[in-house]
Amino acid sequence: MPRTEEANRRIREARRAKILEGARRAFARKGMATTMAEVATEASVSQGLAYRYFESKEEIFRALAEQVMGPAFETMRRIPKMPGTPGERLDFLFAMLLGGRREDPEFFQLLYHVLNDEATPEDLRKRIDEQGRAFQGVLRGLIVEGQASGEVAEGDPDQLVTLVMVWLDGLSRLALRDPERYEEHLPHAELFLRVFGPDSVRKGGTNEPPEQARRGDGPSDA
């Protein structure tokens, strides 16, 4: 009995997802130097089948970026409007950043390659740069609000933003250079919070993060 169009659609979607999953692993290791042959090998499909679904490795790369960047960006944009105090929203942002790197390190390795590989298409690099600036704007806003409410340590907010960006860049480098150490010793969000907490907290008060940050949930209602 011939397959229905719905069955054929499901097969096509499954094959495409399989190719993208293999491509994610390949690109995470080598960035734009990855070949279609390596993508096909990682995905356990023929190179011809890979080309049936994607015209080039650049098209695959874009699909991978869209797969994760879109949802992550939308979540990040919602954080300033979430209920709770500025400090709670900042706690949630840190938990999200570290949780994402723990659950999906390959994407952040891939993103590191995008930003540091001269072969990356300019429009894709520009889009990622724009999202990076938007993220830094959200982070800075939460820091400023948290300082005003007494929940965040005093200091130049731009320096604090730079500190976070350096931390994140270092984690991406570690994931590429020493994946075993990265997996075993990836910091928890509360270590970030100790640095950003008010002076009274860092000098002897509690270092425990809010419950929602430990769970990875959104801030609670104020």
**Measuring CA to CA, how many Å separate 107 from each of 74, 89, 114?**
17, 24, 10
pLDDT confidence of residue 51: 94
pLDDT confidence of residue 205: 43
Q: Give the domain CATH number at 23.
A: 1.10.10.60
Judge if 104 and 186 occupy the same domain: yes
Domain count, the chain: 2
Q: 130 is in which domain, residue-wise?
A: 62-215
The half-sphere exposure of 86 on its side-chain side, counting CA atoms within 13 A, is 19
Q: From the first residue on, what is the mean pLDDT of each consecutive set of 10 residues in the chain (222 residues)?
A: 82 93 88 89 94 91 78 82 90 86 78 75 81 90 94 92 90 82 84 76 44 46 42
Judge if 151 and 132 occupy the same domain: yes
pLDDT confidence of residue 199: 64
The full DSSP string for 60-94 is HHHHHHHHHHHHHHHHHHHGGGSSS-HHHHHHHHH
Domain annotation covers residue 222 = no
Judge if 36 and 129 occupy the same domain: no
